[in-house]
Amino acid sequence: MISLHTSPLDQPGTGDAGGMNVYVTEVAQRLAQRGIEVDIFTRATNSQLPALVPLSPGVNVRHIVSGPFEGLAKDELPGQLCVFAREVLRTEAQFDVGHYDVVHSHYWLSGQVGALARDRWGVPLVHSMHTMAKVKNDLLAEGDTPEPHARVIGEEQVVAAADMLIANTVDEAKDLINAYDADPGRVEVVHPGVDLHAFRPTSQAAARARLGLRQDAEVLLFVGRIQPLKAPDVLLRAAAELLRTDPALRDRLVVAVVGGPSGSGLEHPTALADLAGSLGIDDVVRFVPPVRRDELVDWYAAATLVCVPSYNESFGLVAVEAQAVGTPVVAAAVGGLTTAVADGRSGFLVDGHDPADYARVFASIIEAPQLRAALSVGAVAQAADFSWDRTADATLAVYRRAVALMASETVR
């Protein structure tokens, strides 16, 4: 696997580390459980990192030195593609011929390197886009910077070079075909998953006690990288609206934002705290730096609901994780969230980003504990449709198809 711009060893929920890191780690580990050895190439971002770090049995992270360790933004990485690719090829050259059977690249930068490795090693390239510039630019948050045209061209080149493309959802597959001219016969839909052992129904009371939250609280939770695309401001504005219509809630309301700044959010790291101040709700908003999985389970379990108001989301692992814990999700009806959330059964999908609409949905759940209880049951059932084991099985089937496709083309 190639995950150039972000390492599976990084803590997700801040900077460039998010769902893709979780995806790469979870799928690699499950492939290893199925007897597939996985090397993950990523860029070294720290001079202390060893060249090879075993992640788990059968999975190694290989750090490639290319460019300065720290301080290189994602948009500067195209300038490092050549040296990164050269070092990947050098690493492989130390092994016996035929060391790798498949290259699976994640995000377009890795795809550029993967396309080169594919031709050099004579093995198929399987590529996962994770996000696409054309889709992202169509759904920009206000004031967010569009992705550059060079990325669009880079993505088109990767789509053309890949033997197989993995799409998170049917919609993503359509975008690949319609916006990127992908051959429909080479696109396979594989849903991401959730670790149903780690994220399992958990007592709300116990979680609240562990987090020091009062038992009668109403907790509105946002989890993820803080940037305009994820629209955490919509949650804050909706919470302010909720308090305007129901001031008695003030003592019990907690708006928790778990995660750290990322992307264009890094340019204004205090923007959300400033917004809470200007909305007059800084007494109810709590900012929590990125947390590890066991604490995240507690946050999900403690929440009345999890809000995912993103402008775009290629899937939305947070929505599935929250539901697996038994917490309803109120999400924007965009991208993968329409697959991840069953509207009216495991939560609600909201059209658009008007805070008043979100506030109304919050109120309907808060005012009707029996509705929340029913959604909670629906949430667990909805999440049960997704699992990393299934993702890994389907990914392996795509690898086999890619190998067969390449073999048939070689014979021709």
Annotated binding site for Mg(2+): 300, 303, 327
**x-or-dash string of contact with ligand UDP, 256-295, rule CB under 6 A:** --xx------------------------------xx----
Query: Between residues 197 and 412, which has the closer beta carbon with respect to ligand UDP?
Result: 197
Residue range at the interface with ligand UDP (CB under 6 A); choices 34-42, 274-282, 313-321, 401-409:
313-321
Told to check if 114 binds ligand UDP by CB under 6 A, we report no
Write down the residue that tokens 């699976």 correspond to: 104
Helices 81-93/107-121 angle, 10° precision: 40
Annotated binding site: 5, 11-12, 16-21, 74, 107, 131, 151, 225, 230, 291, 300, 303, 313, 321, 327
- Integer Cα distance of 82 and 37 in angstroms: 26
Whichever of 219 and 223 has its CB closer to ligand UDP, that residue is 223
Binding piece for ligand UDP, criterion CB under 6 A, among 12-20, 72-80, 81-89, 112-120: 12-20
Judged by DSSP in three states, 178 sits in helix
x/- map, 156-175, ligand UDP, by CB under 6 A: --------------------
Q: Which residue has the tokens 């202390």?
A: 48
Q: Exactly one of 222, 315, 362, 388 binds ligand UDP (CB under 6 A); which one?
A: 315
What are the angstrom distances between the C-alpha of 10 and each of 7, 42, 49, 108? 5, 11, 12, 19
Residue from 8, 15, 18, 265 touching ligand UDP (CB under 6 A): that is: 18
Q: Is 340 in the site for ligand UDP (CB under 6 A)?
A: no
How many angstroms separate the CA atoms of 391 and 7, rounded? 20
Binding residues for UDP-N-acetyl-alpha-D-glucosamine: 11-12, 19, 225, 230, 291, 313, 321
CB of 111 to ligand UDP, least distance (A): 17
Q: Give the tokens for residue 363.
A: 């109120």
Q: Does 19 bind ligand UDP (CB under 6 A)?
A: yes
181: buried, middle or exposed (CB in 10 Å: 19+, 13-18, 0-12)? Answer: exposed
- Choice between 149 and 293, CB closer to ligand UDP: 293
Mark the segment that binds ligand UDP (CB under 6 A) among 61-69, 315-323, 368-376, 386-394. 315-323
Please report where in the chains the tokens 């190639």 appear, as a residue: 2
Strands of 52-163, DSSP E: 52-56, 59-64, 103-106, 125-128
Q: Does 141 bind ligand UDP (CB under 6 A)?
A: no
Q: Report residue 405 as tokens.
A: 């496709």
Q: Is 22 in the site for ligand UDP (CB under 6 A)?
A: yes
Measured distance between the N- and C-terminal CA atoms of the chain, rounded to whole angstroms: 28
| Phi, psi (degrees; rounded to nearest 5) at 10 | -80, 150
Residue with smaller CB distance to ligand UDP, 20 or 116: 20
Options 95-103, 218-226, 275-283, 381-389: segment touching ligand UDP (CB under 6 A): 218-226
Give the CB-nearest residue to ligand UDP: 18
CB 33 within 8 A of CB 56: no
The SS3 of residue 278 is helix
| DSSP 8-state class, residue 227 | S
Q: Is residue 128 a contact partner of residue 152, using CB atoms and an 8 Å limit?
A: no
Task: Say which amino acid occupies 7.
Answer: S
Does 318 contact ligand UDP by CB under 6 A? yes
Residue of 124, 316, 355, 378 interacting with ligand UDP (CB under 6 A) = 316
Give the C-alpha separation, 4 to 353, whole Å. Answer: 33
Binding residues for 1D-myo-inositol 3-phosphate: 5, 16-21, 74, 107, 131, 151
CA distance 311 to 278: 23
Smallest separation, CB 318 to ligand UDP (Å): 4
**Does the footprint of ligand UDP cover residue 224 (CB under 6 A)?**
yes
Choice between 230 and 372, CB closer to ligand UDP: 230
CB of 91 to ligand UDP, least distance (A): 27
Per CB under 6 A, contacts with ligand UDP among 319-338 are 321
Q: Does 317 bind ligand UDP (CB under 6 A)?
A: yes
| Residue of 287, 300, 285 whose CA lies nearest to 253 | 285
Residues 43/80, Cβ–Cβ less than 8 Å? yes
Tell me how far apart the alpha carbons of residues 270 and 356 are, in angstroms, rounded to a whole number: 24
Give me the DSSP letters along 391-403: HHHHHHHHHHHHH
Q: Which residues are at the interface with ligand UDP (CB under 6 A)? A: 12-13, 18-20, 22, 223-225, 258-259, 290-291, 296, 315-318, 321
